[in-house]
Structure 1
């Protein structure tokens, strides 16, 4: 009997990552839950069940923490079939006006860009073995910039990471999917004002993720741009 597939999710403690974990387990996957919040991760792991999930505290901006995440995954499950590089946040620091919060910028770039790149660099060799799937969370503002802060630039970088990984992995059997959500009702908005537009639920993005990874091996869903009905840009 073939072992159940393994999906590693960063930013798994809340929002899109949390919803993705639930839907993946419901579809038969075993999941690795990675995030900075140990307490939230453990609560989700307990909900999903010890046969379905493990929790690994990990700050993706820390290379060694990600190495530990990878090693823990392989020690427990021995394989990785899909990776969802989902960790990211925005502090909303503008380019002009307001306070100078350069440390916020640094933390955001290290998480959103460096962290996603490290996840790819460490996990791709394992995905080659399983002809697996690399998924990454971008944003509508990494497609059409409509906000005035550095967050949009980090998501343009994520779009570039997805394309670069896809180009590099041609011939390996690895699939690459960039998910670009519009406004989603998640804790993301705790740090910045939520726009007065319709919004998606985290489960909507999780379904898009499951759609991509459930396709047959010869089908590579490269990009999913998903807005709530009525969001103008």
Structure 2
């Protein structure tokens, strides 16, 4: 098995795609998981034979498990998994919020993370591996009525709990917590905010830290 195999969810654009580019530049073999098969195939065409497209739905446990198994078979095992897939809300706050939209978001931001971690854990135990989760500045502070923020509080809490659980086999868990990032998550470009490459740099820092060093959280904010 290569010592550097990484599966990324939400890999078709934004932070996921930028992380895939950085990882391959650093010698990793990368599994790209997302719903958009066309975007994944285009990314594989760009990145070459160190990347494999794994189309699937993060809200479907069987889909995530099948992708994890396929990537492990392809790469000979899995050293790291980045649970990056996430979504936001169009209506802010609680009173103005849309319960159906909340449910869709929770399926991605909470259950999608749980499914990814559950499917990854047997492989990471074998490899003394590394989990990474995309948290948010919104998961480190209180925002009036924010249900999205609360979903990211879950990610931060769960990431800390995973760090404790993974100590039992020498594994590591890192929460990557950015402020506003210029990604397709937003309708309008945000050129003065963090760029996806900034987040990818943070992921690489955590992954390539000495095994004695568990980087539990990286919190990034734009200077502007």
TM-score by length of 1: 0.91
**Where does residue 151 of structure 2 map in the other structure?**
154
1:111 has 2:105 as partner: no
Inter-partner Cα distance in structure 2 for 1:46 and 1:145: 42
Conserved 8 A contact 1:4-1:28: no
Inter-partner Cα distance in structure 1 for 2:34 and 2:65: 14
Shift of 1:149: 2.9
1:181 has 2:204 as partner: no
Inter-partner Cα distance in structure 2 for 1:147 and 1:211: 33
Conserved 8 A contact 1:31-1:52: yes
> Deviations 1:39-69 (Å, cap 9, x if unpaired)?
11110011101x2010111111111111111
**3-state secondary structure, aligned to 2:88:** coil
TM-score by length of 2: 0.94
Query: Unaligned stretches of 5+ in structure 2?
Result: none
Q: Which 4+ stretches in 1 moved above 4 angstroms?
A: none
Query: Unaligned stretches of 5+ in structure 1?
Result: none
Shift of 1:148: 4.1
RMSD of the TM alignment (CA)? 1.7
**Where does residue 228 of structure 1 map in the other structure?**
222
**Where does residue 119 of structure 2 map in the other structure?**
122
1:172 to 169, 174, 183: 169
Inter-partner Cα distance in structure 2 for 1:147 and 1:42: 40
> Deviations 1:67-110 (Å, cap 9, x if unpaired)?
1111211221120001100000102333113xx63221111001
State how many pairs are aligned: 223
Which is worse superposed, 201-210 or 138-147?
Answer: 138-147
**Where does residue 22 of structure 1 map in the other structure?**
21
Inter-partner Cα distance in structure 1 for 2:46 and 2:164: 38
> Deviations 1:158-177 (Å, cap 9, x if unpaired)?
11110111111123110110
Alignment of 1:49-198 (within 5 A): 49=48, 51-93=49-91, 94-97=93-96, 101-146=98-143, 148-190=145-187, 198=192
